[in-house]
Structure 1
Amino acid sequence: MKLIYQNMLGFLLIIVTTISIIGYSEIGYARNQAYMQNYQRMEGYAESLGDLAEADGKNGTALLNNNFLNQLEFVLHGEDVHLRIFNDKNEQIYPKVNAKVQLSKNVFATLKTGQEIRIQNNHNEQSPIRSTKDAYTGVLVPWMNGKNLVGVAWISSRVTHVERPIYMAKRNLLRALLMTVAVGLILSFIISYYSTKRIKRLSRATQKVASGNFNVQIQHKDSDEIDQLAENFNKMVQALKRSNEEVKAQEKRRDQFMADAAHEMRTPLTTINGILEGLQYDAIPEESKPKSIALMQRETKRLIRLVNENLDYEKIRNNQINLIKTNFNATPILQDLKSQLSQNAEKANDELEVIAPDDLPIYADRDRFTQVMVNLVQNAIQFTHDGKIEIKGERMVHATVLSVKDNGIGMSKDQIKYIFERFFKADPSRARMGTGESGLGLAIVSSLIKQHGGKVTVESEPGKGSTFTVVFYDKGFEQFVEK
């Protein structure tokens, strides 16, 4: 069933249920009022007749002769009122009949005590008066002279006469229900159409997003839950758009990496193949063979390094390495690092400087710590020429902080956003042979730092250099994050 019909059905059920409850209550109230007014009216007639009966102290019913009662019943016939009079001996004296008519002993005993009896419908099983052809309602009123019973007046009326207003109320209620249902149908259709129209708009927008259109935005007024849903939909589409753009950027960087990797592999492979062919056909002079073999070894190591970096990154990213963390002094490692990379720095005319205390305690995996710092310094050398690279280490509360600062080409905010992602190169055109040329160095750094429970940050401006900062926390103070 469509939503518009579900809403309409819901509105109609509420309307019909409400009208039914109200109508049932009103009809019950009208029935009670009708019978109560009828009782009061008949009791008034009975009391008036009782006053006449009590006027004669010798024979209380003498004044109520047949002629008077016939005239009285004729007058009350328009109101469908009927009279029966019983004397103090439980004998019906009006209307006179050949057979002896009496009230039941229980009823008469109750009346002798001065209590009156109300009869709602003498067709009911609990009625104290026997059933008649037509259903009657009425009252039995005792006439008392002190404590003595003078007589009993049974004044009754047909139930159909009393319930005539109730029948009219039922007809009016039915008409009101039909009119309410008709009006409710129209109003529920309008309200449901308005609601479903906005939902359909959301559905059409969802289809557009599913087809790849992430520029969809829904106008809303922030007035109800559907507008809130529209607002959340807009936020979702914006997030999907950003995610899609990042995925495309990742794909572009991956394609660029594959192209760079293919280029990097093709060059050494071509060199190696050329040398091997030269050796095979004795095309290389004897004096040049040592240089050719040395070149082939360097190119082979270059290929091995490229493959190892990819394999290493995959292991680190998938938590397939075991960190053996210990407490050690980081300063000697930083000094060794300076010595090992000084030759690469001299090629770029860069100056390396280590600023750290003689004793710099750190809690980390020694080999992986060395790998992190090598990658950071190599990255700084790669993008710095005729500059200075500062390697700084210091202690803070429950942690050791190390930074690598350079005054090289720097990075923009967009580049900083992706700098720790795989395959990303801040400036591929300036990448040189050496560690970091694959675009994996900083991605490896980020993964290793996370597994250590530390953190890594970068600050940079184009043309002003970059500063990479890593924090290794002491044992028990690591800040592990969800991967």
Structure 2
Amino acid sequence: MKLIYQHMLAFLVIILTSTAIVGFSVISFSSNQAYQTTYQRLEGYASSLGELATEQNPDHTSKGDLIDNHFLNKLQIVMQSDDLQIRLFNGKNKQLYPKMGPKVKLPKDIWKSLKAGNEIRIKNDHEQRETYFSSKDAYTSVIIPWFDGSKMIGAVWIGARVKNVEQPIHLAKRNLISAFVVTLIVGLILSYLISYYSLVKIKRLSKATKKVAAGDLTVQIHHQDHDEIDDLASDFNSMIKSLKKSAEAVKEQERRRDQFMADAAHEMRTPLTTINGILEGLEYDAIPEDSKPKSYQLMHRETNRLIRLVNENLDYEKIRNNQISLIKTNFDATVPLNDLKTQLKTNAEKENDIIKLEVPEKLPVYADHDRFTQIMVNLVQNAIQFTQNGVITVSARRLKHGTEISVNDTGIGMSDEQIKYIFERFYKADPSRAKLGGKGESGLGLAIVLSLIKQHGGRISVNSIPNVGSTFIVTFFDKGFEEYTNED
């Protein structure tokens, strides 16, 4: 079943159920009201006749009737205009009026109740066979006892035809049926309009979804924040923005991967070509004896270059997949930082750079010693790679629950857009400045740094100004105070 019909059916069920409940209540009220009014009217007539009987025959010993029969005939004629009937009984349950026609005797249980002073109300005498007062028409009636002091002198039955009593009820039912039909028609129209209004929004969402499935990520749904469907449209728009952003990020990753593959192929082709040329020269004895040591050294450097490129990729995959075990201890970081300065001094001098170390005599750090060294080597090597004729400053200080180390350079710096991607795999802030002979040319150095710092529960951030320089700030927290945030 289509959703519009489901909505219409739901609206109609609610409307019709409400109408039925209201209608039932109205009919029930009208019925009770009609019968109560009739009972009260009949009881009023009966009480008046009882007073008249007491006044006309105070000793009740006469042979005559409780009320003059001639008077009762006239009264019956008057009451026929209201379609009422009267039956009069003496104190011995004998029908005194009417004289003509079948005689009726009240049932013993009713007579006993009357003698006890109770008034009897009969809604429909055809529903109680022992109180039939007419075989032709059903009557709604009352039976009222008459007393003179404590002595019951008689009783009167006054009845009105049920069909006359229920005439207002039938009229209410006809009005209710008319209202029901009108409500049904209006309900159909309104439920269709309301359902259509909702379905227009849903169809708009459906069309937008199909466009997204077809690859269109520019879709945006107009909404006014009136209801939950509008909220869904808003969420849909947010989802599309996220998908678009993700798609752009994937494309950028693909572009960088392709660039990396091209760079890697180029970097591998050069040393492989060099090694192959030297091997051919050795095979055909084309290299002079005095040049062979240099050729061997060149082959060794080129082989190390290939090994380094492969190892960096393998190392990153292990770190990213948490396949390495950190052995964290408390140690003095001043020692490995001094060693780092000595180790990278030659690389820095090739670019006319100076490495400055500004650290306290004792610098407690809680970290894996080898991975700490790897992090700092990558950061300093990255600074050397993008700095010429400048200064790389490594400074450190103790925090309340950790150690903060900064690597500042006076190199080419980075834009805000470059900073967003600097820690991603294969990304190079300035590929044209990457040195084929240095570390970090694969675009994995800072990605490895970020992964290692995260596994240490540390923090890294970067500040940079184009053509001024960059500063990488790394925080290693003490044991028990590690966190897992990255403020890049």
Quote the offset at 1:106 in angstroms. 2.3
Map 1:271-310; keep pairs closer than 5 Å.
Answer: 271-310=274-313
The structure-2 alpha-carbon separation of the partners of 1:238 and 1:106, relative to structure 1 and needing over 3 Å to count, comes to same
In the TM superposition, what whole-angstrom CA distance separates every residue of 1:421-459 from its partner, at most 9, and x where no partner exists? Answer: 100000111100221010000000000000001011110
Quote the offset at 1:336 in angstroms. 0.8
In the TM superposition, what whole-angstrom CA distance separates every residue of 1:388-419 from its partner, at most 9, and x where no partner exists? Answer: 00011111111011111001000011110010
Does 2:455 align with 1:451? yes
Aligned-partner Cα distance in 2 for 1:109–1:181: 53
Contact kept, 8 Å, 1:54 with 1:145, in 2: the verdict is yes
Map 1:383-398; keep pairs closer than 5 Å.
Answer: 383-398=386-401
2:272 aligned residue: 269
Of residues 107, 131, 139 in structure 2, which corresponds to 1:129? 131
1:10 aligned residue: 10
The structure-2 alpha-carbon separation of the partners of 1:114 and 1:213, relative to structure 1 and needing over 3 Å to count, comes to same
The DSSP-based 3-state class of the residue aligned with 1:245 is helix
Map 1:409-448; keep pairs closer than 5 Å.
Answer: 409-432=412-435, 433-448=437-452
Aligned-partner Cα distance in 2 for 1:449–1:117: 97
Does 2:55 align with 1:52? no
Does 2:395 align with 1:399? no
1:41 aligned residue: 41
In the TM superposition, what whole-angstrom CA distance separates every residue of 1:202-259 from its partner, at most 9, and x where no partner exists? Answer: 1111221222212111222222222222222212111111111111111100110011
Contact kept, 8 Å, 1:86 with 1:153, in 2: the verdict is yes
Does 2:218 align with 1:215? yes
Aligned-partner Cα distance in 2 for 1:289–1:98: 152
Task: Give, as a single letter, the amino acid of the residue that structure 1 aligns with 2:278.
Answer: I
The DSSP-based 3-state class of the residue aligned with 1:143 is strand
The DSSP-based 3-state class of the residue aligned with 2:127 is coil
Aligned-partner Cα distance in 1 for 2:81–2:103: 29
Aligned-partner Cα distance in 1 for 2:65–2:331: 131
Which range is displaced more, 379-388 or 210-219? 210-219
After TM superposition, which residue ranges in structure 1, 4 or more long, deviate above 6 angstroms? none
**CA root-mean-square deviation:** 1.7
Aligned-partner Cα distance in 2 for 1:456–1:481: 8
**Percent identical across equivalent pairs?**
62
2:25 aligned residue: 25
Does 2:352 align with 1:349? yes
Aligned-partner Cα distance in 2 for 1:313–1:276: 32
Aligned-partner Cα distance in 1 for 2:312–2:445: 8
Contact kept, 8 Å, 1:119 with 1:128, in 2: the verdict is no
2:122 aligned residue: 119
Contact kept, 8 Å, 2:401 with 2:481, in 1: the verdict is yes
Task: Give, as a single letter, the amino acid of the residue that structure 1 aligns with 2:391.
Answer: K
Aligned-partner Cα distance in 2 for 1:322–1:142: 107
1:460 aligned residue: 464
Which range is displaced more, 35-44 or 366-375? 35-44
2:479 aligned residue: 475
The structure-2 alpha-carbon separation of the partners of 1:164 and 1:152, relative to structure 1 and needing over 3 Å to count, comes to same
In the TM superposition, what whole-angstrom CA distance separates every residue of 1:107-126 from its partner, at most 9, and x where no partner exists? Answer: 2222123321111122335x
The DSSP-based 3-state class of the residue aligned with 1:123 is helix
Map 1:312-391; keep pairs closer than 5 Å.
Answer: 312-391=315-394
In the TM superposition, what whole-angstrom CA distance separates every residue of 1:168-204 from its partner, at most 9, and x where no partner exists? Answer: 1111101100001101111111111111111111111
Contact kept, 8 Å, 1:107 with 1:128, in 2: the verdict is no
Aligned-partner Cα distance in 2 for 1:323–1:2: 60
Aligned-partner Cα distance in 2 for 1:99–1:228: 80
Which range is displaced more, 305-314 or 279-288? 279-288
In the TM superposition, what whole-angstrom CA distance separates every residue of 1:57-105 from its partner, at most 9, and x where no partner exists? Answer: 1338636344332332233223221111101111011123587642122
Task: Give, as a single letter, the amino acid of the residue that structure 2 aligns with 1:161.
Answer: N
Contact kept, 8 Å, 2:459 with 2:485, in 1: the verdict is no
Aligned-partner Cα distance in 1 for 2:229–2:248: 28
Task: Give, as a single letter, the amino acid of the residue that structure 2 aligns with 1:28.
Answer: S
Does 2:79 align with 1:93? no
Aligned-partner Cα distance in 1 for 2:6–2:336: 74
Task: Give, as a single letter, the amino acid of the residue that structure 2 aligns with 1:106.
Answer: D
The structure-2 alpha-carbon separation of the partners of 1:100 and 1:189, relative to structure 1 and needing over 3 Å to count, comes to closer
The DSSP-based 3-state class of the residue aligned with 1:176 is helix
Aligned-partner Cα distance in 2 for 1:98–1:74: 16
Does 2:242 align with 1:232? no
The structure-2 alpha-carbon separation of the partners of 1:189 and 1:101, relative to structure 1 and needing over 3 Å to count, comes to closer
Task: Give, as a single letter, the amino acid of the residue that structure 2 aligns with 1:129.
Answer: T
In the TM superposition, what whole-angstrom CA distance separates every residue of 1:121-167 from its partner, at most 9, and x where no partner exists? Answer: 22335x87258533221000112222222211001122222111111
Task: Give, as a single letter, the amino acid of the residue that structure 1 aligns with 2:144.
Answer: V
Unaligned runs of 5+ in 2: none
Task: Give, as a single letter, the amino acid of the residue that structure 2 aligns with 1:471.
Answer: T
Contact kept, 8 Å, 2:328 with 2:368, in 1: the verdict is yes
Task: Give, as a single letter, the amino acid of the residue that structure 2 aligns with 1:7.
Answer: H
User: Could you state the TM-score of these two structures normalised by the residue count of structure 2?
Assistant: 0.95
The size of the alignment, in residue pairs, is 481
Contact kept, 8 Å, 2:143 with 2:157, in 1: the verdict is yes
Which range is displaced more, 185-194 or 21-30? 185-194
Task: Give, as a single letter, the amino acid of the residue that structure 2 aligns with 1:214.
Answer: L
Unaligned runs of 5+ in 1: none
1:201 aligned residue: 204
